[in-house]
Amino acid sequence: MTHQNRPRSSELYEEALQHIVGGVNSPSRSFKAVGGGAPVFMKRAQGAYFWDVDGNQYVDYLAAYGPIITGHAHPHVTEAITRAAQNGTLYGAPTELEIQLARMLKEAIPSMDKVRFVNSGTEAVMTTIRVARAYTNRTKIIKFAGCYHGHSDLVLVAAGSGPSTLGIPDSAGIPASIAKEVITVPFNDLDSLKLALERWGDDIAAVMVEPIVGNFGMVMPAEGFLEGLCEMTRANGSLVIYDEVISAFRFHYGSTQTFSAFPNQAAIEPDLTALGKVIGGGLPIGAYGGRKHVMEQVAPLGPAYQAGTMAGNPASISAGIACLEVLQGEGVYPRMEELAVRLTAGIEEGAKRYSIPLTINRISGAFSTHFCDHPVTNYEEAQDTNTEAFAQFFRHMLDQGFYLAPSKYEAWFLTTEHTEVDIDRTIEAAHESFRRMAK
């Protein structure tokens, strides 16, 4: 088994600390949640692999936290970006490309009559809340514990993902006057949602949810949860907002709203949807959309203002179109699922062999590994897992050349570029990791 050294990463980390706060441009890239130390500095990436500045190679299961579903530097995506760059990267005027991507999104997600492109998932979510407030003339939102919706003020209240990983339940710098506009209830718990709606109903502009959770591991909604959520929220005159920044185009070509796991799709349609990640093919993007009468709140048609110098830039849009074109290919999703099934079965077998408690939640080609002996269906259960065991597993995998997200809350993502050989090597490394952990 390989054992990697990373002296150059350590040097660069020291240097980065001098210039970039915490040495990283997003806290989830730091190794704080897995025992600290220098993160790995990457040099280049191709397909399912990347190479660090010390020349070590890794099989990538991070996929940049989701967007890289067609692997790194996919030729079709790269060609689209190159073409866009050669034609000028930003006009500040509309293009036909934007219509093309908007059409593709609308075809795949029928609840979106109208779309608006922005630059990140954060912006998309932030704006859906503004639109919902404008539409309902109410101020409060309900969200679910552990669901992460980007870093705008309102949704950082009791947020999961990065913040919970770092043990910061609420960010500093968010005024109490804003925090009191947010009510947080447990995921998969309709009784709590009902109570919150009874208590604050007249003030609730929207209920915001990751319909399939990706931020405290992968968690499916319990049977009837989304139906109940939509029904109760609408009965209260509030809007339903789905944050599908991770879930859209991750499990199948479409969103949760059209996923075969939910046969009664009409009953789970939201009023507004926020998108990001995959729809930009690895370049910065976000989008939001919804029913025509709701979206007509947005400027220049309506009173809710939202704008963006970089929004809908031809490079991001071209990369997004190319990425979705690859994903439209025959058998793309079943193949990722098949590989994920093989991988999770192999990992589970290894954990069992070395008596390491492990719960895997897999949805299509993505899954999460929870070091515990109970199911994980909500944030509390995801927190009640062995952080130290995950950190050890992460380090052993990294040392053998397998790059997982450095947090027990993040998912493993398959891409169109992983192969059976990658999977079998990963299983072997996982067994070796468990063997070392059991010592």
- What element of type H or E holds 393? helix 387-399
Q: How far is CA 34 from the centre of its chain?
A: 20
Instruction: State the Cα torsion 292-293-297-299 to the nearest 10°.
Output: 40
Is residue 289 a contact residue for ligand PMP (CB under 6 A)?
Answer: no
The active-site residue, picked from 32, 140, 143, 277, is: 277
Q: Which stretch, 118-126, 129-137, 257-265, 347-355, contacts ligand PMP (CB under 6 A)? A: 118-126
> Which residues, 6+ apart, have CB-to-CB distance to 263 below 8 Å?
none
- What element of type H or E holds 114? strand 114-118
> Which residues, 6+ apart, have CB-to-CB distance to 325 below 8 Å?
76
Nearest-approach distance from CB 120 to ligand PMP, in angstroms: 4
Q: Which stretch, 92-100, 145-153, 224-232, 324-332, contacts ligand PMP (CB under 6 A)? A: 145-153
Q: Following DSSP, what letter does each residue of 219-255 receive, concatenated? A: BPPPTTHHHHHHHHHHHTTPEEEEE-TTTTTTSSSS-
Cβ atoms within 10 A of the Cβ of 18, count?
7
Is residue 406 a contact residue for ligand PMP (CB under 6 A)?
Answer: no
Is residue 149 a contact residue for ligand PMP (CB under 6 A)?
Answer: yes
> Which residues, 6+ apart, have CB-to-CB distance to 276 below 8 Å?
67, 120, 121, 124, 245, 285, 286, 287
Cβ atoms within 10 A of the Cβ of 248, count?
31
- Residue 273 or 400: which CB sits closer to ligand PMP? 273
Contact 190, 127 (CB under 8 A): no
- Residue 274 or 430: which CB sits closer to ligand PMP? 274
The span from the CA of 155 to the CA of 215, in Å, is 13
Binding string to ligand PMP for residues 248 to 287, with x set by CB under 6 A, is what?
----------------------------x-----------
What does DSSP assign to residue 164? H
Is residue 125 a contact residue for ligand PMP (CB under 6 A)?
Answer: yes
Nearest-approach distance from CB 9 to ligand PMP, in angstroms: 23
Nearest-approach distance from CB 149 to ligand PMP, in angstroms: 5
Q: Which of 215, 236, 364, 385 forms a contact with ligand PMP (CB under 6 A)?
A: 215
Name the closest residue to ligand PMP (Cβ). Answer: 121
Closest CA to 58 of 69, 66, 47, 67: 47
Q: Which stretch, 238-246, 300-308, 329-337, 418-426, contacts ligand PMP (CB under 6 A)? A: 238-246
Is residue 410 a contact residue for ligand PMP (CB under 6 A)?
Answer: no
The active-site residue, picked from 13, 148, 242, 288, is: 148
Closest CA to 161 of 197, 130, 122, 192: 122
Cβ atoms within 10 A of the Cβ of 265, count?
16
Nearest-approach distance from CB 126 to ligand PMP, in angstroms: 9
Nearest-approach distance from CB 264 to ligand PMP, in angstroms: 23
Contact 353, 239 (CB under 8 A): no
Nearest-approach distance from CB 86 to ligand PMP, in angstroms: 26
**Partners of 368 in beta bridges:** 361
Is residue 245 a contact residue for ligand PMP (CB under 6 A)?
Answer: yes
Is residue 127 a contact residue for ligand PMP (CB under 6 A)?
Answer: no
Q: Which stretch, 94-102, 146-154, 387-395, 397-405, contacts ligand PMP (CB under 6 A)? A: 146-154
Nearest-approach distance from CB 66 to ligand PMP, in angstroms: 7
Nearest-approach distance from CB 198 to ligand PMP, in angstroms: 27
- Residue 65 or 367: which CB sits closer to ligand PMP? 65
Is residue 246 a contact residue for ligand PMP (CB under 6 A)?
Answer: yes
Tell me, yes or no, if 277 is annotated catalytic.
yes
Total interface residues for ligand PMP by CB under 6 A? 15
The span from the CA of 211 to the CA of 243, in Å, is 7
Q: Which of 210, 337, 399, 417 forms a contact with ligand PMP (CB under 6 A)?
A: 210
Provide the annotated active-site residues.
148, 243, 277
Applying CB under 6 A, which residues contact ligand PMP?
Answer: 65, 120-122, 125, 148-150, 210, 214-215, 243, 245-246, 276
